[in-house]
Each structure stands twice: as C-alpha cells, then as structure tokens.
Amino acid sequence: MANTTAAAPAGAAPQEGTRRDFLFLATGAGLAVGAGAVAWPFVSSMAPDAATIAAGAPIEVDLSPISDGQIINVFWRGKLIFVRKLTGKEITDMKAVPLADLADKATFDSRVKSGHDQWLVVYGNCTHLGCVPIGHQGNYEGWACPCHGSQFDAVGRVRRGPAPINLPIPPYAFQSDTKLRIGEEGGKAAA
Amino acid sequence: MRATSLIAAALTAALIGLSPASLSPAAAEDGHGSQPPRQSWSYAGVFGRFDQAQLQRGFQVYKEVCSACHSMRLVSFRNLAEEGGPGYSAAQVKALAATYQVKDGPNDSGEMFERPGRPADRFPAPFPNDQAAAAANGGKAPPDFSVLAKARTFERGFPWFVFDALPFTGYSEQGVDYIHALLVGYEDPPKGTEVPDGTHYNQYFPGHLIAMPKPISDGQVTYPKNDKGESVVPETVDQYAKDVAAFMAWAAEPHMMARKALGLRVILFLIVLSGLLYYVKKKIWADVGGEVHGLQPELHKTY
Amino acid sequence: MSAHGNTYVPKSGIAKWFESRLPLVGLVHSSFVAFPVPRNLNYFWTFGAILIAFLGIQIITGVWLAMHYQPSATEAFDSVEHIMRDVNYGWLLRYAHANGASMFFVAVYVHIFRNLYYGSYKAPREVLYILGVVIYLLMMATAFLGYTLPWGQMSFWGATVITNILAAIPVVGDTIQSLLWGGYSVGNPTVNRFFSLHFLLPWMIAGVVVLHVWALHVTGQNNPAGIPIKSSKDAVPFTPYATVKDVFATVVFMILFAWFIFYQPNYLGHADNYIPANPAVTPAHIVPEWYFLPFYAILRAVPSKLGGVILMFSAVIILALAPWLDTSRVRSSNYRPIYRQFFWVFVGVCFLLGWLGAKPPEGGYVIAAQICTAYYFAHFLIVMPLCGLFETPTKLPGSILESVTGPGKQVSGAGMPAGAAAAPTTKG
C-alpha cells in the first residue's frame, strides 16, 4: 500500500506536495474500491443460488385426506409447515380466548383465512430457537416444544415459555375447498 | 554483451527449429478430420454478444431435431428466460415447460408419477439412461449437449495457438466451428474408403467414420417469418448448423455475456489503477534518487 | 545484515503491553517495513509478492468453491456445472481458481528462472532456496489434485496416469497406489480423498512460505549484481519502496490474469475435461496441464516405466542440488559471460520440453525429448560445475550503489537510515 503519510521532500514547492497528496489519495481510493469490488462476488455467491430459488416455487397440498383434528407436515423451501384441521370445539375455545391472555396478541380471525375457519397453516418451528413443537400436547390444545418448554395453542399462538411470538403463517391461498397452494398469496409469488 | 545474447538466442532457436520441421512424423492429416473452417460468430471476441433471434432459432432446431436423441441434462427451462440468453419471457417458458411430461415422486403412496413440467425442471432426456441411449443408437450413446460446445475443439498447432490467446487475435470458438463443420460435413466417401455398416462418412469427424447419420437436411425446420411473411434467414443445413451451434455455445456458457461485460470493466479499472500506481511509485522512489529502470540495467554498464 | 534489527518502537500503552508479550507487530515491521531491500532490484524481484497474492487468491476462491462443490464421482461434474450456472458469480470463482492455478505457475517459473539466472540459490541462501523447491513440489501436488476434482475425462485419466506412475516405485508402489485409490481403481473414494488433500496442501504451502520468508529475513535478498549490501546507501527500506513496487507489479500481473478469466477462461484447460469421466474411454491425446508438460516429456523420454519415473522426479530433485553443483563464486549471470549463454539455452530447452510434452510420444518427438532431457540434466551436472571452474567472470561493481549509478557517482537522497532506531520513511 502506498505510504500516504510520506512527507514531501524538504524544499519542494507546496504545490508539488499537494499534487503528490492527491495522487496518493486517488491511488489509495482506487485500491480500496478494487478490494471492495473483489469482495462482492464472494458475498453474493453465498446467497441462495438460482436453482435453489427456482426450486422454491409454490407447492400444492390436497386437503381431502385430512380428518378433523389431524395435523400434517409439508415442506416448502425446505421449511416445515403444519397444516391442521381444527375441530369445532377447538374453534369455539380459540375464539373465546381473551386477547389480554396472549403474549403476542392475535385474534382467531387473523390466524385463519376467512371462510376457511377449519384450516390452520403455520410454520412448524418454535419461534424461540427453532425446535419442532409436538402436536396435541401442552395445556392449550396445541403444541408443546420439547426443547425449552414453550407452549402454543390450537391456532399456534404462544401461551407459555420463552418463545417471543406466535408461529408465523406462510403465504398461502385456497385454490378450492380441498386444495391449498403454499408459497403464493393473492396471485403473487412469495419473495 | 548483445552479441552473446544473440548467440544464446540463436542456439535456442536452432533447437526449437529443429523439431517441428524435420522431426515431426508424417502430417497428422490422415486418421484425423480436416480442419473445420472458421465461421463468423456474433459472440466471438471481447465485445461479442449472443444474437437472441439466433439462439431462439437454435433452440427450435434442438427441440425439433436434435432432442430426439441428444439430452441436455444440465439446462433448465428457466434458463431460457434468464438474462444473456435466448430472451424468452417467463410466461413463454412456463407454457413451454408445461408441454413436457416430467417424472416426479415418490408420492405419498410411494409411487413415481408424471406431471407437467415447471420452469425449474431440467430438459427431459430422450432416454431414461445411458445404457438405453446406447442400445437405441447402435451401441453408442449420443453425447449430452449441455457443455458439448466447450467439450469439442481442434488443434490449430504452433504458432496459431499463441495468437488464439492474445487480445485482438484471440479466438475461442473452435468448439462451435467444429459442431457447424460436422453438421455440414457429410459427404460421399472418397473412392476406396470403406464405410462399415452403422457408420457414415464425415469430412470433419476425427477418423471420418461417425455413428450419427446425417441428422438434418435443407428445409427440415421451418423458421418463423418476419412481418411481411418472408424468411429472415435461409432454411439450409448451413444456417441450421450455425444456429444450433450458437444455441449450444450459450447452453455451455450461459453467463458469457455477463462475463465479457464485467471483464471489460475490470481490465479498464486495472489499467487505470496500475497507471496511478506507476506514478505513485515514481514519486516515492524519487526520494532515494529514482528507481532502477529496465529489466537489466546492469548489462548496459561497464565498470 | 546488521541494518535490520528490530526497529519497531510501540507508541501506545496497549501496543507496548502486547509487544512485550508477543512481538508480532515488531516481527512484521522488521520483515516488511524496515527490512533493507537492495536498491537495484529489478521487476523480476516482484514475483515473490505476486506469488503470495496468488496463494491468497487460490485459497480464498478455493474455500468459496468448496461451499458449492460435491466431492463424489456421481456429483462432482454436475456440481461444478452447478457452480458455473446457478451460483451467483460462480463462473467467476471457478474461472479465477482454474486460471489462478496457471498464473501461479507462470509466476513461480519466472521466480525460479530469476533465481537461477542471478544465482540466488548460492550460499548463504541454500535453505531459503530448498524451501522454495519444497513449495514448488507442494504446488505441483496441489495442482494435480485440484485438476482431478471436476471429474471430467482429463481429471479421471490424469488421476489414473499419475497414480500408475507411483505404482512404478519398487516394493511399496502398489500399496501407495491402492491407498491413494481407496479401491481397486480410480473412483468415488479417490475423488473424495483428493478433495480433502487438495484442501489440506495449500495450508502446508502457506506454512512453508512462512519459513521461506523467515529464511529470507535472515539472509536478506539477493540482487541483480549478486553482491551483498555493504552500506546503508546500498539499500532502501522495504516500505514504502519495495511495497509500492510490488503492489504496482501485482496489479499489472492481474491484468493478464483478468484477461484469461474473462476472455480466455478455457484456453489453458482441456476441452476433454468438459466430458464427464468415463472409465471405458480414454481421450485421444492425454496430456497434463501446461505447467507439467516439461516433466511429462522427461517421463516419456525413457522407454522404461520405472526409469521414466525416476528421471522425472530427479528433474525436480536436481534443482535442490544446484547450490552445490554450481562451483562459481559469482552469483549473478550478468558477470558470467559463458554461463549466461548456457542459461538461455537451458531456458530454451525447458520450453522445448514443454512443447514436446504436448506432442504424441512417437517418432522424432521422442528423440527430441531424449536430447532435451539429456541436456536438462547436463546443465546441472556438467555445465554448472565446469563453467564455474573455467569461466572468467567480468569485473563486479564495487557496491550495489555503484551498480546503479556507475562508478564513483553519487545518488541524490539516501538509502536506509543509518541509525537503526530512525523511522524508515524519513530522510536521513
């Protein structure tokens, strides 16, 4: 690296020194810009590649074989998603939970799509540190995480334990009453 | 001093000169194909760019003719819509992919099933595996097209290989030249050449006897017409060969245009930076009475 | 070399605290800042810096490629193409790594021939030089292992041919071969372990490079005049003088590198390596990468398998013996009128061997390769010892400074600061 602090030769005109400083600065800036530009491809190459992105296209789930109260696992973009068919009792119970009891306040209606009250679709990893909560366990008709004791209710809202927020909802839409498309909402693909 | 260097240079030259001319075995012509003639490609050279219309025509030739036997297993439908390629729209690619049936599975009952293709799918292969491809083609599987344009070349020999590496005279399109030449190189064997069953005489194929029969003939593929209903390019084997070779060049090197564009910027940047550094160095060395110049200044001094 | 004592004086309290516990900054300072550099070094001396740059480039691009590469016989070829097609800038990383290897060898060959021309291998730099030969050997092993990883036809058959070379070693050859293969032929275990070794060796190179620089630190640099630094006027401090020159030369060399990456990325490779490995078909012309061609020519010059292998390894080992084979006390060929001519003939013979290595082993090519091989060894075994005995060197300059300015002239400005404690960038 050019030693930009090198003093101008004694006795040289001040103008000479200025020109020299400018040259050193410009070169130093050029080297810095070059180094930065070289770093970019390395960083960029670590992002999801084109094949991974293309493989993350929306998936379709057939709901017809799922019975009341059943939870199935599906994968989209390598992430676990729970699809749960709520029973009538669970729907009634969940609607009755007062918002004040919730750490991350969310109404029943905000957890399902209107007109499809029976169907809950949530990501299947605990919002604490990513373990998979076990279904139909805990005190809230929902999930209990075996790692650190977080509990979720039947619509995936956190009710107890270290988990900070409810189980998130992936983008999805109903193609028909028995067909779900995960990864696309309102005709727009997820980013 | 200069005289002694000259002697050394002459000795070296004599040693080098000895072998290619007088020692090399009889011309390597027989047993090998003749040299494919050089074509003019839009994407050759520093400023080379793919011709989108040509890539689309080339894809059409591949789809309608070559793909009956040749796979292209590393290329996906989505690639056709990516930047620097044939320039199809995402919707066109989606529609095109859906016309293919792709094997997927296993499903929940453990069975493989067929479904319409998606842009993320690779081009489906004409044969389920290499053995099937070989069995259906007289014992030799037709080569996959994905990187074939980079996997084929021919030797130009000394000193041409030096010029091929240099700026301005540089050339790296030997692979597509060969592919083009091969497609137009089918001809009647010279008198006295025996062509065994299952082989065909080709002027440019190494050894001349190729398993692939002449794959395409004039007028076989109908290209899209322009607004006035006229042909844009002739529908001849020569043109088909150029188009499909260009398409294969893109398939083998889909980021070629990005590479060349980035290269120009990088090299210009480096030239400017080295210019700046040269003056920085000169200024710094001025403090100690200037730097030694030239590679061998001592040789020009006597003590 | 009294002029490069540890002149680093820590200024801040933290720096003093650290320096008294681990004198790391002082070490770097004395090796790369205050280190006295002969003032007459020409551009051939910048290739050490260029080589360090390429070691860095190869290690970094290699680590990044390893994030995407799959070392298995079924996946390797496709994963390389995945890098080329789908990974962001993957084509850049791969082409930089592949061409970086070639540029690394270009630079190392300039470095080696510079060393041979200026007699840098002679006392007191024998250990420095032998460490260099060790680095070269490690580079060859690393390059060979790396070339097998794309698992194309040349990868596969290169691996086959080279492992068969090792099988020629008496008694233990077959065992070495099967240990390398991990099977009964070159296959999946081979590519997997070659990947592991290809990842390991560069770190060993980096370790030996540290020793190489350490040894350089002890003996100081040779120079075109081949005479030692006698006064502070003969030398300049490494920083900024050598640093700025090295950076300049490295950036210029990067232009060549960039040309190959962006415009001739496959020129130095083989088209056959874009055909997936096929154990049933050998490519028509099986040749190694260009940087191995001279040794390949030597290997094939002898009709006996074992003989060829011995000769090929001897061609590298004999390099390490140069300090004792050369009987001349004058280092630089600039002052050796006879040897200088033999040197250039030797360079020509090396190029010729490279050219012959790419030719089929038949007819005149074999005879030419035999003549060149004989000359290659004769250069070390006959020319080096005899030239030193019979040649009359021309008069050497009185000092490095004199070699720059001519006799009796003065140069404006000073060289190294006279006092060891003075800051190196101020004028003395």
Residue of C nearest to A48 (CA): C87
Spell out which residues of chain B touch residue C74, defining contact as CB-CB under 8 Å: none
Q: Which helix (H) or strand (E) holds B7?
A: helix B2-18
Q: By the 8 A CB rule, do C337 and B4 touch?
A: yes
What are the structure tokens assigned to C88, written together? 């962001």
Query: Distance of alpha carbon A60 from its chain centroid, rounded?
Result: 20
* Cβ within 8 Å of B, C 143-202: none
For residue C407, give how far its alpha carbon lies from the nearest alpha carbon of chain B (Å): 6
Q: Are residues B218 and B278 in the same domain?
A: no
Is the same domain home to B151 and B282?
Answer: no
Which pLDDT score is estimated for C49?
Answer: 97
Give B282: exposed, middle or buried? Use CB within 10 Å, 0-12, 13-18, 19+: middle
pLDDT tens, position by position, B10-53: 444 444 444 443 333 333 344 456 889 999 999 999 999 999 99
Q: Which helix (H) or strand (E) holds C163?
A: helix C153-166
- Provide CB contacts within 8 A for B6, sequence distance 6+: none
Q: From the centroid of its chain, how far is CA B274?
A: 33
| DSSP string for C282-329 | --SS----GGGHHHHHHHHHSSSHHHHHHHHHHHHHHHHHHHHH---S
What is the DSSP pairing of strand A134-135 with strand A143-144? antiparallel
Say if residue A2's pLDDT is above 50.
Answer: no
Q: Which residue of C has its CA nearest to B21?
A: C364
Residue with tokens 């020009």: B300
Q: Which of C399, C326, C287 is nearest to C40 (CA)?
A: C399
What is the span of the domain harbouring residue C252? 19-289
Instruction: Locate B112 and state its tokens.
Output: 């493989």
Distance CA C307, CA C301 (A): 9
Interface contact A3-C88, CB threshold 8 A: no
Catalytic residues of A: 148
Q: What is the pLDDT of residue C4?
A: 45
Query: Nearest-CA neighbor of C31 among C284, C217, C164, C228?
Result: C217
- B103 inside domain: no
Cβ neighbors of C273 (< 8 A, separation 6 or more) are C150, C152, C153, C154, C155
CA–CA separation, B285 and B277 (whole Å)? 12
Q: Which value, in Å, is the radius of gyration of the alpha carbons in chain A?
A: 28
| Helix (H) or strand (E) run with residue B286 in it | helix B256-286
Which one, of C272, C320, C289, C354, lies nearest residue C141 by Cα? C289
Chain A and chain B share a number of CB contacts under 8 A equal to 41
Instruction: Give how far the C-alpha of residue A168 lies from the chain's centroid of Cα atoms, to the nearest Å.
Output: 8
* Per-residue CA distances from C142 to B37, C163, C182, C274 (Å): 38, 14, 19, 21
The enclosing domain of C223 has a CATH number of: 1.20.810.10
B119 and A2 within 8 Å at the Cβ level: the answer is: no
Does residue B15 fall inside a structural domain?
no
pLDDT tens column, B51-81? 999 999 999 999 999 999 999 999 999 999 9
Residue A3 has pLDDT above 80, yes or no: no
pLDDT at B15: 45
For residue A156 the two structure tokens come to 């995936």
Q: How far is CA C401 from CA C36, C40, C414, in A?
A: 13, 8, 11
Contact list in C for residue B83 (CB cut-off 8 A) is none
B16·C352 Cβ contact <8 A: yes
In this model, does residue A16 exceed pLDDT 90? no
Token readout for B31 is 């047993």
Domain A52-189 bears CATH identifier 2.40.50.100: no
Which residues lie closer than 8 Å to B106 by C-beta, 6 or more apart? B112
The first and second tokens of residue C152, run together, are: 């194309």
B35, part of any domain: yes
Candidates A23, A45, A60: best to mutate against B (most CBs of B within 10 A) is A23
b/e per residue, A64-99, with b = 16+ CB within 10 A? eebeebebeebebbeeebbbbbbbeebbebbeebee
Shared-domain flag, residues B217 and B161: yes
B284 Cβ under 8 Å from any chain C Cβ: yes
Nearest Cα residue to C41 out of B281, A5, A28, B277: B281
B257 labelled binding-site residue: no
- This prediction has a pTM of 0.90
B66 among annotated binding-site residues: yes
Grade residue A10 by pLDDT with cuts at 50, 70 and 90.
very low
Domain span at residue B284?
Answer: 259-289
Task: Say if C416 falls within a structural domain.
Answer: no
> Has residue C85 been placed in a domain?
yes
B204-245 pLDDT, tens digit each:
999 999 999 999 999 999 999 988 888 899 999 999 999 999
Tokens linked to A162 = 């270290």
DSSP A111-134: HS-TT-TTEEEEE-S-TTT---PE
* Cross-chain Cβ contact A27/B277 below 8 Å: yes
Q: Chain A closest CA to C373's CA: distance in Å?
A: 43
- Residues B35, B133, single domain; the answer is yes
Q: Do B270 and C364 touch (CB under 8 A)?
A: no
C88 within some domain: yes
The answer to whether C369 touches C353, Cβ cutoff 8 Å, is: yes
- With H, G, I as helix, E, B as strand and everything else as coil, classify residue B146: coil
Q: How far is it, in rounded angstroms, from Cα C284 to Cα C157?
A: 11
Domain count, chain C: 1
Q: Is C59:C202 a contact under the CB 8 Å cutoff?
A: yes
Residue B86 lies in a domain: no
Q: Is residue B44 part of a domain?
A: yes
**Closest CB from B143, B158, B281 relative to C244:** B281
- Tell which of C110, C255, C400 to mutate to test the B interface (max B CBs under 10 Å): C255
Long-range contacts of C74-82 (CB under 8 A, 24+ apart): C74/C188, C76/C149, C76/C150, C76/C151, C76/C191, C77/C150, C77/C151, C77/C152, C77/C276, C77/C277, C78/B74, C80/C149, C80/C150, C80/C151, C81/B74, C81/B146, C81/B147, C82/A49, C82/A51
Q: Which two tokens stand for residue A44?
A: 């960029």
CB contact under 8 A, B286 and A9: yes
Chains touching A (3+ CB pairs < 8 Å): B, C
Residue B49's pLDDT is what? 96
Of A2, A42, A50, the CB nearest to C86: A50
Q: What is the pLDDT of residue C348?
A: 98
Chain B residues whose C-beta is within 8 A of a chain A C-beta are: 76, 78, 82, 118-120, 269-270, 272-273, 276-277, 279-280, 283-284, 286-287
Amino acid letter at C51? L
Q: Are C325 and C388 in contact (CB under 8 A)?
A: no
**Does any domain span residue C125?**
yes
* pLDDT band (50, 70, 90) for residue A188: low
Cα–Cα distance, B255 to B251 (Å, whole number): 9
Q: What is the DSSP letter of C237?
A: E
Q: Does A6 touch chain B (CB under 8 A)?
A: yes
Q: Structurally, how many domains does chain B consist of?
A: 2
Cβ contacts of C325-328, under 8 Å, gap ≥ 24:
C325/C380, C325/C381, C325/C384, C325/C385, C326/C119, C326/C121, C326/C122, C326/C384, C326/C385, C326/C388, C327/C384, C327/C385, C327/C386, C327/C387, C327/C388, C327/C389, C328/C119, C328/C387, C328/C388, C328/C391, C328/C393
pLDDT in tens, A47-80: 999 999 998 888 889 999 999 999 999 999 999 9
Nearest to A24 among B269, B272, B280 (CB): B280
Positive or negative torsion for Cα A99, A105, A108, A114: positive
Please report the beta strands in C117-233, taking only residues with DSSP state E, as ranges in sequence order.
none
Instruction: Give residue C323's identity as a one-letter amino acid code.
Output: P
DSSP string, C85-96: HTSTTHHHHHHH
Average model confidence (pLDDT) across chain A:
88
Shortest Cα distance, chain C CAs vs residue A59, angstroms: 22
Strand partners, A160: A151
Report the number of secondary-structure helices (H) and strands (E) in chain C: 16, 2
Measure the N-to-C terminal CA separation of chain A; round to a whole number of Å. 42
B151 and B285 inside one domain: no
Q: C350 near B14, Cβ under 8 Å? A: no
Q: Where are the domains of chain A?
A: 1-47, 52-189
Chain A residues touching residue C89 (CB < 8 angstroms):
40-42, 44-45
Sheet holding A119-123, edge to edge: A71-76, A79-85, A119-123
pLDDT tens string, chain C, 428 residues long: the values are 334 456 788 889 999 999 999 999 998 998 899 999 998 899 999 999 999 999 999 999 999 999 999 999 999 999 999 999 999 999 999 999 999 999 999 999 999 999 999 999 999 999 999 999 999 999 999 999 999 999 999 999 999 999 998 888 889 999 999 999 999 999 999 999 999 999 999 999 999 999 999 999 999 999 999 999 998 888 999 999 999 999 999 999 999 999 999 999 999 999 999 999 999 999 988 899 999 999 999 999 998 889 999 999 999 999 999 999 999 999 999 999 999 999 999 999 999 999 999 998 888 999 999 999 999 999 999 999 999 999 999 999 888 888 877 666 555 555 676 543 333 333 33
Domain-embedded: residue B97: no
What backbone torsions phi and psi does residue B9 show, to the nearest 5 degrees?
-60, -40
Task: Tell me how far CA of residue B105 lies from CA of A51, A180, B73, B242, C74, in angstroms.
Answer: 19, 19, 18, 39, 21
**Among the ranges given (A6-20, A146-160, B266-280), the one the predictor scored with the smallest mean pLDDT:** A6-20
C14, C24, C32, C78, C217 from C21: Cα distances, Å? 11, 9, 21, 51, 22
